[in-house]
Structure 1
Amino acid sequence: MEYRITAELTLPAGMAELDGLQQQGAAALLSEWLDRVATVEGPEGVEITPYDHRLEVRSTGAVVELLVDAPALSFAENGAEALLQEILERTELLAEWRVGKCEVTVSDAELAEALEGGADEGVVSAGIGLPVEDVTAQRRRLLALSSRLRAFELDSFGPPLADPDARFLAAGALVDRASVLTEELIMDIMTLDEEAESLDKDEANWTADDSQGLFVLHDLPVRYRHHYDVIFAKKFLVASAVVYARLTGSPWLPPASTAESLALHILIENAKDLLVSFAAVDPDDVTAMFAVFESNAHSHHDHEWLYLEDLDSADPDDSSADPLGFLSRDAHSWFAPYPEAKDAPTHPYLIDDDD
């Protein structure tokens, strides 16, 4: 796919501005190298092919426009940056220059074609209700975040798809939503705390069942909302933070309790919505990618049982209707580690006094 890259080359800090003669010399050196370049190998061994360029040298540096062929936007930007950095390093007189901003800059029509495989801007806007430039900015932001998901390789999202950026975007969406969900849980705790202050001492404990303006707690299984009090919310914040932090490390440690499994489940659902609603990723691709990801990320799937509507009408005394025993358990029990994970590191705040 063809991309137009605009890159800024900047002078080293403290260097005086270039005079006219120095600008001509820098232009000659850069043009010579840019004219030589054929196919180059960028990050992850992916090849990009620059086949046209435009150069403008100023007193403070240079602006380079490259027309490149690359399999995806992320490869185009990263490959172009690596190419320009190599040119500077090989040019003794420019070795201390730096590559600044380096990103795809194309027209709205070209952006629509890149995002939708040939569709025009109207199709993209009609599909998710956002201008093409907003979708592109969102995709670029998620691509930049994708490298922070160190616990998983791209193969954890399944094989490559028609949209070559899709798996990178999925990784970035998980990192992005982990941060957002943490903030939202803090807000939920503050809301419960403030509303609980209005209770008389002899009134029942205030829970998510009594509140309307909650974010994450209202995404948990509805039938247990009367269990989600301030203490539960604080524990769930800690459990989710533990899971989300593991995403940025290696190797991956799967959820060690029902609460941690729920935290990962909510993260995945939020990441899916972000990709479809704001990054123009095909819903079928999103479903396929995260089906594979969940099989790699979860060691248990007991959290899925909590969302079953049939459980609402089940007899609590019928073990066949509730084989995991959730109907007879308090939601606070979800923080207990799975039997095989009882020796896993546990945050002290999640350990009951009885334990």
Structure 2
Amino acid sequence: MTGEENYVEHALRVGEELTGLSLEQLGLEPQLEDLAENRRNRLEADDLEWAGSITPERRDRSLFQAKLLAGALWEASAVLIDQLFEDLNGLRNLERVDRQDIANTFVLSGLPPRHADKYDVRFARQFLVIAADMTGALARRWTRPSCVAQELALRCLLDQVEVIQDLYSLDLAEDWRSRLEQHMLEDTDSEMLYQNAMDGFEDDIELNMQLGLAPMKIQDWFEPFTDASVPPYVR
């Protein structure tokens, strides 16, 4: 048995711990008989036709891929927190943090590079706490990110899933990332922080109001969205 096969078995096993997302959110394409009667009764004609077109083979493959994705997410969440501790330990030994220091980190290097010199020890501690809060929701009930920093932490988590997928040649659905982003994010506005063409948009109050953006200056990243809350440590 190859290492990839061993890891698949492991991922399928640990994926059972991830109960914060449903198998459908993870990519299961259910047949009509998989659905509760009250749910079938609420389906529109197009949805009924689509569900009726799902073959047993397609359903079983999507179930396997959904369970495998659950395991990859579970593993990635543990790796993410471990690596943030490593990043934090590395920063503690520095008198001053510069962009090259951040480029050499595991997780912080995946944050918007324009603010890299601001990712100091205090920031790393806050980001670790907000990331841990996010990963806990994978075992509870998933709720959308509570602040910009948590949206960025989710991006880092999905990046780690990609690393695991490539490392172990996991047979995940082609659209797994876009599917998760659809279910796990309120929107993808924070992606603008990575776009060179949008450099400085955080300071354009009029533009932010027109686009309906949450405040995205780095000092606002840990501020909770409306009707959301964040751990006391990050405030």
How would you bin the TM-score normalised by the shorter chain?
0.7 to 0.9
Aligned residue among 128, 133, 147 for 1:257: 147
Q: Which residue of 1 aligns with 2:232?
A: 348
The two structures have a TM-score, normalised by structure 1, of 0.52
Q: Which residue of 1 aligns with 2:222?
A: 335
Q: Which residue of 1 aligns with 2:13?
A: 144
1:300 and 2:187 matched: yes
Partners of 1:158 and 1:146 lie apart in 2 by 14
Q: How does 1:163-202 map to 2 (within 5 A)?
A: 164-196=63-95
Q: Which residue of 2 aligns with 1:218?
A: 109
| Amino acid in structure 2 at the alignment position of 1:254 | R
Partners of 2:11 and 2:86 lie apart in 1 by 24
Structure ranking higher in helix proportion: 2
1:228 and 2:119 matched: yes
Partners of 1:207 and 1:149 lie apart in 2 by 36
Listed one character per residue, the Cα deviations across residues 97-152 of structure 1 (whole Å, up to 9, x for unaligned) are: xxxxxxxxxxx6xxxxxxxxxxxxxxxxxxxxxxxx01101111111111111101
Q: Which residue of 2 aligns with 1:127?
A: none
Q: How does 1:1-355 map to 2 (within 5 A)?
A: 133-160=2-29, 162=61, 164-196=63-95, 206-207=96-97, 209-211=99-101, 212-249=103-140, 251-281=141-171, 285-286=173-174, 288-312=175-199, 316-317=203-204, 319-320=206-207, 323=211, 324=213, 329=217, 331-341=218-228, 344=229, 346-351=230-235
| Amino acid in structure 2 at the alignment position of 1:137 | N
Task: Tell me how far 1:154 sits from its aligned partner.
Answer: 0.7
SS of the aligned residue for 1:154 comes to coil
Q: Decide whether the 8 Å contact of 1:227 with 1:332 is kept in 2.
A: no
Once superposed, what is the RMSD of the aligned Cα atoms? 2.5
Q: Decide whether the 8 Å contact of 2:15 with 2:67 is kept in 1.
A: yes
Partners of 2:194 and 2:63 lie apart in 1 by 33
Structure ranking higher in strand proportion: 1
Q: Quick one: structure 1 residues 350 and 315, their matched pair in 2 at CA, closer, same or farther if it must change by over 3 Å?
A: closer
| Amino acid in structure 2 at the alignment position of 1:188 | D
SS of the aligned residue for 1:189 comes to helix
Task: Tell me how far 1:171 sits from its aligned partner.
Answer: 0.5
**Which of structures 1 and 2 has the larger relative contact order (alpha carbons within 8 angstroms, sep 6+)?**
2
Partners of 1:180 and 1:158 lie apart in 2 by 23
Gapped regions of structure 1 (runs ≥ 5): 1-107, 109-132, 197-205
Partners of 1:224 and 1:245 lie apart in 2 by 27
Listed one character per residue, the Cα deviations across residues 51-100 of structure 1 (whole Å, up to 9, x for unaligned) are: xxxxxxxxxxxxxxxxxxxxxxxxxxxxxxxxxxxxxxxxxxxxxxxxxx
Q: Decide whether the 8 Å contact of 2:8 with 2:68 is kept in 1.
A: yes
| Amino acid in structure 2 at the alignment position of 1:277 | L
Q: Quick one: structure 1 residues 313 and 258, their matched pair in 2 at CA, closer, same or farther if it must change by over 3 Å?
A: closer
Partners of 1:221 and 1:254 lie apart in 2 by 20
Q: Quick one: structure 1 residues 319 and 348, their matched pair in 2 at CA, closer, same or farther if it must change by over 3 Å?
A: same
Partners of 1:315 and 1:217 lie apart in 2 by 20
Task: Tell me how far 1:247 sits from its aligned partner.
Answer: 0.5
| Amino acid in structure 1 at the alignment position of 2:14 | L
Task: Tell me how far 1:219 sits from its aligned partner.
Answer: 0.5
Q: Decide whether the 8 Å contact of 1:146 with 1:171 is kept in 2.
A: yes
Gapped regions of structure 2 (runs ≥ 5): 30-57
The two structures have a TM-score, normalised by structure 2, of 0.77
Identity of aligned residues (%): 25
Q: Decide whether the 8 Å contact of 1:258 with 1:303 is kept in 2.
A: yes
SS of the aligned residue for 1:140 comes to helix
Residues 224-233 or 237-246, more deviating: 224-233
| Amino acid in structure 1 at the alignment position of 2:143 | L
Q: Quick one: structure 1 residues 314 and 298, their matched pair in 2 at CA, closer, same or farther if it must change by over 3 Å?
A: closer
Q: Quick one: structure 1 residues 296 and 315, their matched pair in 2 at CA, closer, same or farther if it must change by over 3 Å?
A: closer
Partners of 2:202 and 2:231 lie apart in 1 by 35
Task: Tell me how far 1:289 sits from its aligned partner.
Answer: 2.1
Q: Decide whether the 8 Å contact of 2:23 with 2:63 is kept in 1.
A: no
